[in-house]
Chains A and B, each alone.
Chain A
């Protein structure tokens, strides 16, 4: 029998082809699956990048509102469109927040931005994957009326878009498609064709105008600060249970925002006492600042507005009480119609009790007291204030609170405001009880001694803090607002449009 060499060669070829086919199939399948997985990851990544772009655009809008810098913004007439505006070749430059029937617009298709806050319009990255995120944003009033302070809130709509690296292919993660809605060949909002796949996300933020607070720091002075003994300054937050206990200062939850500032430090000396916050000053270097836990900076150029008496005219106050020098009860009114008293003095001694009572309906009550003379408590006399009562004092002469002299039953500093009016007077707080309230007395020299101290905040001319007394700044005071000037804009609403 003879064998045919041709058949043997054919067999080898077949086996070779079969092997190559199997290997090629394996390779192609693996590459295809790997490509699909890479595509899926790329889509997920670009979806996240798009949100970063949108949030960056919101940040730019808030920065423009906060700083009043509208570089590269343009203003347009009409309502905010759903789709990206088309400003035309000669857009009107924006110079202020938009009024009604207008909106301001910013996009990275405009000139590269070099505004004060140094945020570039487009985010660029390097390396593999998508390297460019674009965004556009609008600001308008959304038809919202002015708030109770007479300030306008704004709507910010921002869209971020990030390219998806890879072919225009639906993700193999089928359930991803409902979530990420990647545009493959067409922009799903405009229906325009796109050259490469992209992820796009839109968020809408409403920003509210925050009233500028008088109480942005614990202590603000015009002159020297002297601390000694076991005196300390720190902070807490009466509205945060992690930073206070039942709204009261708790040393175990101490915070480090008890900031101190003085416009003319003079001969200030902290004597290595502890300040759990930052120190800012103008003038001579403050001595012995070893235990300032925050930063120390100079200069401090903050403005300290002076105080003034209320502009009441005759008949605007209850004249049934002209002074308090014994046990007396005054009843508060409503917020819109607070009870008012103009007193020649408050002088409590012995066992006198001065009661500030809430109105009978149990709601928050308000009372305003103008003291043209001194405000003094001594001995075991004290002032007690119902938890519902909010009181504002204007005192034109020295203020002396000693012993357990002021019982603010709410425990909230914001419920007691003592305005010291004029210059050359004194505030003296002593004894073992904690005074909870705020002093706005920029012309008064303040002395805090004993073991009690102050829970709240203080504005004064000078401060001498000694003994075991501390000043515990209530951070919640910085959100209540002291006047109607706009401090900053903050989120009032945040929503992602997932259409």
Chain B
């Protein structure tokens, strides 16, 4: 006897329930896994960008402090340094195509000098941005900065800074809030000290 095909294609109730249960487990796992993946991705991205910001700020300050002639900090924690005008033009933004290095000369005290004046560079926090200002032209070099402190006790041989970055990935994984990252740097005033 030949049975109709539709009778063979049906699922039993038990089959349906088992399938739905299995599918639910799989879908739930996919959703949870997907969310976890997204969170992990966001956390890694946040970490990566924060790490990049911290490296950049640290490297900028170290670069400028090493070649600084003077360093000072005011009550608002603005770090001001001066560097020699090493180039014949465009000292605020020298490029290989628009600036040439000057020859050194002796000043009246017998110290080395380049050019007649100096370039002033200021570092400060503005809202949540960290600013590097060269001769009055400001550039943001990092974001999500929550504090900036310069240790002012010794600005004749080294400059010590601490910069706290707010977390980019803030979803707490535990009962406590996610805290920021504080970067400490201590850079030797190599150029200034060489002239003492």
Contact = CB atoms under 8 A, between A and B. Distances in A.
B52 interface: yes
A48 B62 CA distance: 11
**Secondary structure of the A side of the interface?**
mixed
B105 A144 contact: yes
A492 B52 contact: no
Interface in B155-196: 190-191, 194-195
A82 B51 CA distance: 34
A496 B103 contact: no
A144 B55 contact: no
A314 interface: no
A3 B56 contact: no
A492 B99 contact: no
Given A145-B106, A497-B86, A498-B63, A3 B6 contact: yes
Contacts of A48: 59
Contact of A33 (B45, B53, B96, B141): B45
A492 B96 contact: no
Interface residues of A, number: 42
For A176, A204, A495, the residue with the greatest tally of chain B CB atoms inside 10 Å of its CB is A495
Contacts of B60: 179
Contacts of B49: 173
Contact of A175 (B86, B87, B104, B142): B142
**Secondary structure of the B side of the interface?**
mixed
A155 interface: yes
For B52, B53, B87, the residue with the greatest tally of chain A CB atoms inside 10 Å of its CB is B52
Given A144-B106, A173-B49, A492-B111, A47 B59 contact: yes
Given A145-B106, A176-B52, A496 B195 contact: no
A188 B96 contact: yes
Contacts of A499: 87, 94-96, 99
A189 B99 CA distance: 12
Contact of B86 (A148, A178, A495): A495
B56 to A, nearest CB: 6
B48 A37 contact: yes
B108 interface: no
A488 to B, nearest CB: 14
A141 to B, nearest CB: 10
Contact of B56 (A26, A179, A491, A494): A179
B58 to A, nearest CB: 10
Contact of A493 (B44, B51, B112, B142): B112
Contact of B101 (A2, A33, A179, A204): A204
A188 B96 CA distance: 8
Given A143-B103, A495-B114, A175 B194 contact: no
A2 B41 contact: no
B195 to A, nearest CB: 7
A40 interface: yes
A412 to B, nearest CB: 17
A490 interface: yes
Contacts of B105: 144
Interface string A396-424: 00000000000000000000000000000
Contact of A44 (B6, B55, B63, B83): B55
A491 B96 contact: no
B140 interface: yes
Interface of A: 1-3, 26, 30, 33-34, 37, 40-41, 44, 47-48, 82, 142-145, 147-148, 153, 155, 173, 175-176, 178-180, 188-189, 204, 206, 490-499
Interface of B: 4-6, 9, 37, 41, 44-45, 48-49, 51-53, 55-56, 59-60, 63, 66-67, 83-84, 86-87, 94-96, 99-101, 103-106, 110-112, 114, 139-142, 190-191, 194-195
Q: Closest 10 CB pairs between A and B?
A: A491-B194, A493-B112, A173-B52, A494-B191, A37-B48, A494-B190, A499-B96, A499-B94, A495-B67, A206-B112
11 contacts: A1-B6, A3-B5, A3-B9, A33-B48, A145-B106, A147-B110, A175-B141, A188-B96, A206-B112, A493-B112, A499-B96
Given A2-B9, A143-B103, A178-B139, 5 more contacts: A173-B53, A179-B56, A206-B112, A493-B195, A496-B63
